[in-house]
Each structure stands twice: as C-alpha cells, then as structure tokens.
Amino acid sequence: MDGDVKTVPTVVDLKQEYESSGVREVLDELDRELIGLAPVKERIRETAALLLVDKARRDLGLAFETPTLHMSFTGNPGTGKTTVALKMAGLLHRLGYVRKGHLVSVTRDDLVGQYIGHTAPKTKEVLKKAMGGVLFIDEAYYLYRPDNERDYGQEAIEILLQVMENNRDDLVVIMAGYADRMDRFFSANPGFRSRIAHHIEFPDYSDQELERIAATMLENQGYVLDEGAKAAMAEYVRLRRGQPHFANARSIRNALDRARLRQANRLFMSGVPVDAAALSTISEPDIRASRVFDGGLDIDGSRRKDQP
C-alpha cells in the first residue's frame, strides 16, 4: 500500500541537523568548560561535521559504512583528555553512533589480572559496561610490557582488538597517554594503529590560560583571588611549570585546594568574626605559603630539577 512506502528525502539541511541533533549544545559546552585547547576543539568540530555528513548520506539512501571512530588522545596530564572524551561520548550519542553515550574510564589495573585466567573476565566485564558508549583507557601503553614474560597485558590487548573490530558500531575506544609512549605502543601493536582513525594531540596550557583556569576553578567554588593573590598565582604558575611532575590544570587544582586549606586555617586562627567576603577571598599569603616559592619540594613531593 502507498501508505507503507517510506519516502526518502532528496535534500538534507545540514545546519538544521546541526541544531536539532544537539551537536551545537555539546560544542558550546566544550567551549565554556574548557579554556584554551583551540586545536583540540577544532578537531572535535571537524569530526562532528564528518559525522553529520555521514548521517546525511544515510538519510538520502547513499552508500555508507559505519565509520571507524576509535581515537587516540595524546598529551601531558591535566590537559583535559578525560573531559573531552566525556563530551565526545555525548556527541556520538546525539548523532546516533552509540546507544547510551556514557563514558567508562579505566587504566591497566581495571583490565589486566594478576594470575592465569583472571584477565579475560576482567577485560570482558569492562567491555560489557562500556558497550553502547565510550571506553577511555588512560595510559594505555601500560597494557604492553614485553619485558615481563608473566605479564597478562597481551591477553587484554587481543580481546580489545577483537571487540574494537567486531563491535565498532556499538563501542568507541579512546586510548590516551604521553605522545612518545603512545607512538611506541602503536609501533609494537600495529593492530591498534590500523583500528584508530582519529589522533588528537592535546597541547600544554600557557601560563595565561592556567591563570584563567585557576580563577574559573575558584569561581565555581564561590571563591575569588584578591589582587595580591592574583600576582602570586601568576608567579606560582611560572615556578611550578619548571618543577617535576607538572600536570597542567591538575597541578593548579591541587595548589588551590592547599590554598583553601591555608585560608581556612588563617581565618580560624584569627579568632575574630568573619563575613562572607572574608570567607570567599583567597589572599596572597594563602598562595605564597607554598614551598614552590622557596625552591624546596614541590606540592607533589618531588625535588626541583636543579636539586640533588
């Protein structure tokens, strides 16, 4: 019957699809919530455009196959890789490429067992939880330890490769870590390189971006820096970057947590009534009490590069 015939459209309004699918909302959230990272955001926009076009081809009845969406995120710690992975999960869900749009974040310990017969069930359980969404494997290169004959990481790798190939229409895997280590990992495991189509590099934040990140983190918690604290924070960022184990926004968050502890202790020890402004203001002494300023141990307990 004529009423049962499905009409195939002849044109697709990509802009309308962009608005109605909710892609704009996800990209706007990415811009609001993450400072800097311009090249990363541009790659996400390009990927969104590719998926919108692919969806349009399907709607018009053109030949298509499910694109390979597995990804590699490379960069130093604290550069927003996990946050972008979460946004990517939402983006893929809105465009119909994953059923649920949730993110399951794991490391080697979540996948690899300690004895024979332990790895396969652990890995399969994680994959079961991630199906319909995105599996984010941080420091993925630790899965491969060729120098240890009794290591079971290779078993997890083989299971992952099989699922990435056979279930790519129901699961997206994002592997993350330092760029040089990820390169060596892919060279030793070419099966991953052939299954990953999108490689996105996350740059370090500039000093100015880290200062803005600090201000935003505090604002979200109902705090502000006074003028002296702003100047001290700028100096802190410059000094902290030169110390070992610097982790971009993560190190800034740790520093602010300590500053809030110092502020709380300062107010408590003052023994005088405090108002809302005092409770909400981080002052210069709260920042400058950090050991970073005296050249000693940094906030992660590591010595400076120029110290024994």
Helix (H) or strand (E) holding 174: strand 172-177
Residue with tokens 């870590």: 177
Helices (H) and strands (E) in the chain, counts: 14, 7
Domain annotation for the chain: domains and CATH numbers:
2-202 (3.40.50.300), 207-294 (1.10.8.60)
Q: Write the DSSP assignment of 60-124 as a string of letters.
A: TT----PPP--EEEEE-TTSSHHHHHHHHHHHHHHTTSSSS--EEEE-HHHH--SSTTTHHHHHH
Contact 192, 185 (CB under 8 A): yes
User: Could you give the 3-state DSSP secondary structure of residue 264?
Assistant: helix
Nearest to 286 by CA among 249, 233, 208: 233
Model-level pTM?
A: 0.85
pLDDT, one tens digit per residue, over 83-132 is 999 999 999 999 888 999 999 999 999 999 888 888 999 999 999 999 99
- Given a cut of 70, is residue 289 above it in pLDDT? yes
C-alpha span between 277 and 267 (Å, rounded):
12
CA separation for the pair 107, 112 (Å, rounded): 9
Q: What is the DSSP letter of 8?
A: P
Two structure tokens written together for 268: 């408590």
CB 89 within 8 A of CB 30: no
Task: Write the pLDDT tens digit of every residue in 217-262.
Answer: 999 999 999 999 999 999 999 999 988 889 999 999 999 999 999 9
Classify 11 as helix, strand or coil.
Answer: coil
| Residue 20: Cβ within 10 Å count | 11
Residue 138, beta-bridge partner list: 176
